Amino acid sequence: MAPEINTNDVRFFSGQSHPELAQEITDYLNIPLESTYFSRYSNDNLYIQLGASVRGRAVFIIQSLVKPVSDNLMELFMMLDIAHGAGAREVHAIIPYFSYSRSDKKDAPRISITARLIADLLETAGATHVMTMTLHSPQVHGFFRVPTDPLTARPLFIRHFAEQNPSPLDTIVVAPDMGRANAAARFGNRLSLPVAAAEKRRFSDSHVEISPTVLRQVEGYRRAIIYDDEIATGTSMIELARLLIEGGIQEIAMVCTHGVFTHNALSKLSRIPQITEIVTTNTVPIPKQIRPPHLTVLSVGPIFGEAILRNYSRQSIGDLFPFGEENATP
């Protein structure tokens, strides 16, 4: 018999960043999403009140760190603090998109390793557990001192492309940089496709350089699936697509977990006719009015819902981790 959550033992709340995904998660669990009241004082200070008692219960607060990131982060801190101060037994921070995971190292003088700072502040605010998806680099997991579960959307992408039955004779998976090579290899291996990795140097959000050595790796293939964790401005994807097209690639599919798509990235990518498909998830809300016809958005609601269910019932969620689903079926 499948485990169930005692609805009187838990409380689910959503910040204002992505209530649609919060609703999908609670729908999967057949648990109500409780009300939360937000307002501003005249001095612009934020006021939040949770709409249901949390005393002695396991509390789940769902908030993606999307624009406006600082406002949404402050909401999350306050909601965690409210639950902790009101006597919650456990306080779970469910953060589908942890945007600060890109700030994972000190690569310039006098800067903050902000991913570590945010991890510390989440604990200070009252989080006893964190659940997120596809951190920019594995080392960010180690910044958290509370139990943290970084999930993966890879099974969704595998299932999507398996239905297309891609052939290893004409299709190759391409990682846009060496940092994504292992993730791309896991994806490619599950589809029995060859894998290539580009060499990228980033100088700014709008300036990247990719070595043409990737052309030797994709020679003879007609189709490429570029596999990344995030697309923001699209600069890397556009530059890599340009190189692949020069190398003879005729058709490009782009895959990313977090479709941030800032600075008209979707429009820019849509102007490249060889890009026939962009596949992402809903960790970041994408307004329907800006979605081009070739954009596919897959829901991570069931993944988070299943992970929460297993966590609540003290079952393993190892097969939902980035390194854990190799033996699962698509």
Catalytic residue list: 200
Cis peptide before 109 (omega within 30 of 0): no
End-to-end CA, the chain: 23
Q: Around Cβ 290, how many Cβ atoms within 10 Å? A: 11
Which of 2, 52, 56, 17 has the alpha carbon at shortest distance from 32? Answer: 52
Instruction: Give the number of C-alpha atoms closer than 13 A to the C-alpha of residue 328, restricted to the C-beta side.
Output: 18
Q: Rounded CA gap, 144 and 44, in Å?
A: 31
Q: Cα-flanking dihedrals φ and ψ of residue 186, to 5°? A: -60, -45
Angle at 153 between CA 250 and CA 207, to 5 degrees: 55
